[in-house]
Amino acid sequence: MGLFHCPMGVAFYDDEGCIDCGMCSATTEEEMVEASKKIRAYLRSHASSEGPIKKIAVCGKGGVGKSTIVVSIANVLRSKGYSVLVLDTDESNPGLFRLFGFDKEPKPLMTLLSRFSSGDLNPDSEWLQREKITVPDIPAEYILSRDGLKFLMVGKIQDPFQGCACSMADMTRDLMGKLLVADKGIVLVDMEAGIESFGRGVERNVDTVLVIVEPSFESMVLAEKIGYMAEGMGIVRVKAILNKVPSEKVEQRMTEELIKRNIKSIGTVYFDPQLYEAGFEGTVLGESRATGDIQTIITLLLDEAKQSS
């Protein structure tokens, strides 16, 4: 298959898990479209009910404030007694660990890949090759811990000619599929900007997609596309968080526009200078108006999940 990545995660045609969609053998755009329709129909028909929240992907256009929202969500969840594992999958954002108060980043998971092996794993990556992985299985050098929070980082593009982020996406998708989440635990994934990760199926193993939307046409168009992609993966719980909103009038207009695009808003974070000053300086986020907004949003999200379980 060359560089082809099977959306079902199958190694070769007719292997276990193959749904005979025809994507791997498609040679024309029409054949690829038909194969995509088969995949979408299969995943939608096999989608589970919403159920409890265990794995959340935070998505959106570049610059909408995903990372600062991820930090705020993690802090609120911890205040509610959850143990939170944050997985940083954005290969370009360098400073998420600082926003959590860590003074150094963990060893990237990408170092587990052999340098010249087309994705083969190093001998010390046995834990990553297990069928199921628990948080205690992860070696200490790859994980930072503090006050009910654990932080993992897939990796970053540091220098020219290092290649694309495909192997990072593959690792993220596989890890999320294998990771077992304990009771009162939640995995929070800071995704790369845009929709390329959906094209690689990275979000396939999450149960919740939160789309961060700022007051811009491009952001809302992308939110619609993310909703379409997530639905096609069989993800039932897709919610928008409105961010950087300057007024109730703008909030209303954004909400109405998203409804037209079949995206439901779960709440609004109004523009908060404190929040963005902290993000600009790379410092720990303190109490602010945005903190209260996120508190309201997460309470509603968790309550809705309990009612649907």
CA dist 171 and 154 (Å) reads: 8
pTM of the model: 0.83
**226, part of any domain:** yes
The token pair at 147 is 């006050």
Q: Which domain holds residue 107?
A: 55-308
**127, part of any domain:** yes
Model pLDDT for residues 186-219, shown as the tens digit of each residue: 999 999 888 888 877 888 899 999 999 999 999 9
Q: Phi and psi for 61 in degrees, rounded to 5?
A: -65, 155
**289, part of any domain:** yes
CA dist 226 and 210 (Å) reads: 10
**45, part of any domain:** no
Task: Determine whether 154 is exposed, middle or buried from the number of CB atoms within 10 Å of its CB (0-12, 13-18, 19+).
Answer: buried
Type of residue numbered 142: Y
For residue 49, pLDDT over 70 is answered with no
For residues 94 and 59, the model is more confident at 59
How high is the pLDDT of residue 116? 44
Task: Determine whether 135 is exposed, middle or buried from the number of CB atoms within 10 Å of its CB (0-12, 13-18, 19+).
Answer: middle
**9, part of any domain:** no
**244, part of any domain:** yes
Model pLDDT for residues 79-120, shown as the tens digit of each residue: 999 999 999 998 767 778 888 889 899 998 888 875 544 455
CATH code assigned at 59? 3.40.50.300
**38, part of any domain:** no
Burial 86-120 (b: 16+ CB within 10 A, else e): bbbbbbeeeebbbbbebeebbbbbbebbeeeeeee
**74, part of any domain:** yes
Model pLDDT for residues 161-194, shown as the tens digit of each residue: 555 667 777 888 889 999 999 999 999 999 988 8
Structural domains of the chain, count? 1
Closest by CA to 63, choosing from 230, 236, 240, 192, is 192
CA dist 64 and 72 (Å) reads: 14
Model pLDDT for residues 136-170, shown as the tens digit of each residue: 999 999 999 988 899 999 877 655 555 566 777 78
